[in-house]
């Protein structure tokens, strides 16, 4: 027997959060038609082309994809993703570290306790949160994280913690209190949650926060970044590349000391 857990919009197709199915030792590609047969009639279709499937909290794309074998007592999580190429998370590697980014909708009341609680629940994962309007795009994010991780590797962090170094480089300041004030979590403001680990980031993090996630990098913050950091037109024009603002932000972050 296997358990199939439905996350977010997938619940609407099955009238419940979870199904217990009396099968095992089948692949994900074999499970999908089984699920479609079990779906009640006259309820929303399950878009099988736009779902993520995790086995025991591990994204199947990091395993054998649709050929991943589901064994007895496994927990299978079905997570819809948004159409149009938008996603609610991104995963990548930097210097052998596994990294997952999700963006979380702003709440009326939220503070650093949110991060503290995650750190307690997942002690082997390093977490940091950056206000969304201080992340230009995925490339900018990756380059800043590389600066911090490379500094950690070479024992030249701006502070004694990787998480604080990340905060300071996005805020372009060497003052920890200023970094927290500038790019830290604030009420009503969307923020990107950064999770860093030595192994694959547990899918359960996304599952726990599924109702709070938004489409990552769906907004453009170019102008607000230019205004906040007082980047002039002359500075932008002096950079001979296709991404002058990104290059300026990364350069400023790399020379902090």
How many angstroms separate the CA atoms of 22 and 17, rounded?
A: 17
Let me know whether 29 and 144 are in one domain. no
Question: What domain count does the chain have?
Answer: 2
Let me know whether 208 and 99 are in one domain. yes
pLDDT digits (tens, 9 = 90+) for 121-146: 999 999 999 999 999 998 999 999 99
| Distance, CA of 79 to chain centre | 14
CATH number, domain at 150?
A: 3.30.2380.10
* 213 token code pair: 């996630």
The per-residue pLDDT for 87 is 64
Q: Looking at the predicted structure, is the pLDDT value of residue 64 above 90?
A: no
Average of per-residue pLDDT across 222-233: 95
pLDDT digits (tens, 9 = 90+) for 173-222: 999 999 999 999 888 889 999 999 998 898 888 888 877 888 788 788 99
Contact 3, 75 (CB under 8 A): yes
The per-residue pLDDT for 194 is 96
Q: Which of 219, 152, 212, 224 is nearest to 182 (CA)?
A: 224
Let me know whether 28 and 139 are in one domain. no
Given pLDDT bands bounded at 50, 70 and 90, which one contains residue 84? Answer: very low
Rg (C-alpha) for the chain, rounded Å, is 21
Contact 193, 117 (CB under 8 A): no
Let me know whether 46 and 172 are in one domain. no
Let me know whether 72 and 147 are in one domain. no
The per-residue pLDDT for 157 is 96
Let me know whether 106 and 7 are in one domain. no
Average of per-residue pLDDT across 37-41: 86
Share of the chain above pLDDT 70, in %: 96
CATH number, domain at 63?
A: 3.10.20.30
**What's the mean per-residue pLDDT of the chain?**
88
Let me know whether 206 and 136 are in one domain. yes
Q: Looking at the predicted structure, is the pLDDT value of residue 94 above 60?
A: yes
The per-residue pLDDT for 231 is 95
The per-residue pLDDT for 204 is 86
Let me know whether 24 and 133 are in one domain. no
Domain endpoint, select from 60, 80, 100: 80
Sequence-distant contacts of 248-254: CB under 8 A, at least 24 apart: 249/136, 249/140, 249/144, 249/172, 249/225, 250/140, 250/143, 250/144, 250/147, 252/172, 253/144, 253/147, 253/169, 253/170, 253/172, 254/147
The per-residue pLDDT for 81 is 62
Count of alpha carbons within 13 angstroms of residue 119, beta-carbon side: 11
How many angstroms separate the CA atoms of 3 and 74, rounded?
A: 6
What is the domain extent for residue 24?
A: 2-80
Let me know whether 97 and 145 are in one domain. yes
Let me know whether 171 and 129 are in one domain. yes
Domain endpoint, select from 44, 59, 80: 80
The per-residue pLDDT for 83 is 40
DSSP designation for 37: H
* 49 token code pair: 């082309």
The per-residue pLDDT for 6 is 87
Let me know whether 184 and 229 are in one domain. yes
The per-residue pLDDT for 80 is 74
How many angstroms separate the CA atoms of 119 and 113, rounded?
A: 10
Given pLDDT bands bounded at 50, 70 and 90, which one contains residue 44? Answer: confident
Domain endpoint, select from 45, 80, 115: 80
Contact 167, 128 (CB under 8 A): yes
What is the helix (H) or strand (E) element at residue 97, kind and residue range? strand 97-104
Given pLDDT bands bounded at 50, 70 and 90, which one contains residue 110? Answer: confident
The per-residue pLDDT for 48 is 78
Let me know whether 58 and 101 are in one domain. no
Q: Under 8 Å CB-to-CB from 240, ≥6 apart: which residues?
A: none
> Range with the lowest mean pLDDT among 14-18, 95-99, 172-176, 221-225?
14-18
């Amino acid at each position: 027997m296997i358990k199939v857990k439905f996350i977010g919009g997938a619940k609407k197709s099955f009238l419940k959060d979870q199904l217990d199915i009396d099968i095992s030792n089948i692949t994900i590609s074999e499970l999908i038609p089984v699920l479609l047969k079990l779906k009640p009639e006259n309820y929303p279709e399950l878009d099988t082309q736009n779902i993520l499937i995790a086995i025991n909290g591990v994204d199947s794309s990091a395993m054998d994809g649709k050929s991943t074998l589901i064994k007895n007592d496994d927990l299978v999580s079905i997570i819809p993703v948004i159409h149009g190429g938008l996603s609610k998370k991104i995963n990548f590697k930097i210097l052998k570290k596994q990294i997952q980014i999700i963006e979380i909708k702003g709440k009326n009341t939220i503070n650093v306790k949110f991060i503290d609680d995650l750190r307690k629940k997942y002690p082997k994962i390093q977490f940091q949160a950056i206000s969304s309007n201080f992340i230009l795009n995925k490339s900018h994010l990756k380059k800043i994280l590389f600066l911090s991780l490379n500094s950690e590797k070479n024992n030249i962090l701006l502070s004694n913690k990787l998480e604080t170094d990340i905060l300071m480089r996005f805020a372009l300041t060497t003052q920890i209190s200023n970094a927290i004030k500038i790019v830290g979590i604030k009420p009503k403001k969307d923020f990107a949650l950064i999770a860093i680990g030595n192994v694959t980031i547990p899918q359960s993090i996304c599952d726990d926060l599924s109702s709070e996630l938004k489409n990552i990098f769906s907004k453009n913050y170019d102008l607000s970044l230019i205004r906040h950091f007082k980047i002039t037109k002359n500075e932008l024009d002096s950079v001979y590349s296709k991404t002058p603002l990104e290059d300026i932000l990364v350069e400023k972050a790399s020379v902090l000391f």
